[in-house]
Amino acid sequence: MPVGLMQQKDQIISQLRSMADAKVQEKGQLDLHDVDEMMHRASSDGSVTRDEAGDLNWVRVHYADKMTKDAAFALDHFLSNWISGAIHDQMQRDKDKAREKKAQDQIERIEQHHENLREWRVEVDQRLRALEVDDKQRVVISQFFNLKHD
């Protein structure tokens, strides 16, 4: 993540806690509008980072007794959806990695099979030469056994 974007994220995180502090000092509680404002601030760039979600959770835990029921419900719902999304994303990344690993393993097995087959063909050709089989007979034998003839 670029340095400027990281600093901007750090400012948002500190803003979430300070927003909550200011609203509680001003009104004595956090209502649905306040929580909605914090959630929009956290997701202002289109996504919510782990740190931002952690700060929202900090607000939820730290000000649990100073939150209206609607605000607590909205924040709980937002955080549970974020957790579900994060788990889903991680599972998808794990599946993608497993799929890539499986494909790579298959490629390696195919390459090894081709190498073994090439070595076998060379060995068969050398044995046929050792038996003093002429080129015409070797081609016939190679075709019979479906061997490539160089």
86 vs 8, which has greater pLDDT? 86
Residues 17 and 78 in one domain: yes
Confidence bin at 150 (pLDDT 50/70/90): very low
Helix, strand, coil shares of the chain, percent, nearest 5, are 85, 0, 15
Within a domain: 32: yes
Asked whether residue 21 is assigned to any structural domain, the reply reads yes
More confident residue, 11 or 97: 97
Nearest to 54 by CA among 44, 46, 62: 62
Q: Comparing 55-69, 89-103, 121-135, which segment has the lowest mean pLDDT?
A: 121-135
Instruction: Identify whether residues 81 and 22 lie together within a single domain.
Output: yes
* 140 belongs to a structural domain: yes
Same domain, 75 and 33: yes
Among the residue ranges 25-39, 104-118, 135-149, the one predicted with the least confidence is 135-149
Query: How far is the CA of 46 from the CAs of 33, 43, 58, 67, 80, in angstroms?
Result: 20, 5, 21, 26, 17
For residues 57 and 127, state if they share a domain: no
89 and 104 assigned to the same domain: no
Alpha carbon 14 to chain centroid, angstroms: 27
pLDDT at 45 over 70: yes
Same domain for 90 and 129, yes or no, is no
Domain that holds residue 125: 100-144
Does 150 map to a domain? no
- Assess if residue 149 is contained within a domain: no
What's the average model confidence in pLDDT over 68-75? Answer: 95
Whether 31 contacts 70, CB under 8 Å: yes
Query: CB of 55 within 8 A of CB of 13?
Result: yes
What pLDDT does residue 67 have? Answer: 95
Residues 32 and 63 in one domain: yes
Domain co-membership, 63 together with 13: yes
Mean pLDDT computed over 133-145: 77
What does pTM read for this prediction?
0.61
Number of domains in the chain: 2
* Same domain, residue pair 28 and 79: yes
Longest dimension (CA), the chain: 102
Least confident of 6-10, 48-52, 119-123, 135-139: 6-10
pLDDT of 9 = 56
